[in-house]
Amino acid sequence: MEAYCVKCKSKREMKDAREVTMKNGKKARTGACQVCGTKMFKIGG
């Protein structure tokens, strides 16, 4: 899945994406940028 990478300043494919639940109960995905390895975060399942 794609997410915005703040380091690359563009959308990148997310590596090792996994689902997490935020404090407000909403689902989000976290992973790492495929290109630079920066941690990525995307709201929504």
Binding positions for Zn ion, rule: CB under 5 A = 5, 7-8, 33, 35-36, 38
| Nearest residue to Zn ion, scored by beta-carbon proximity | 33
| Cβ atoms 42, 11 nearer than 8 A | no
Least Å distance, CB 35 to Zn ion, is: 5
Least Å distance, CB 43 to Zn ion, is: 18
| Residue 10 CB contacts under 8 Å (≥ 6 apart), including other chains | 4
Closest to Zn ion by CB, 16 or 24: 16
Angle of CA points 23, 28, 29, to nearest 5°: 135
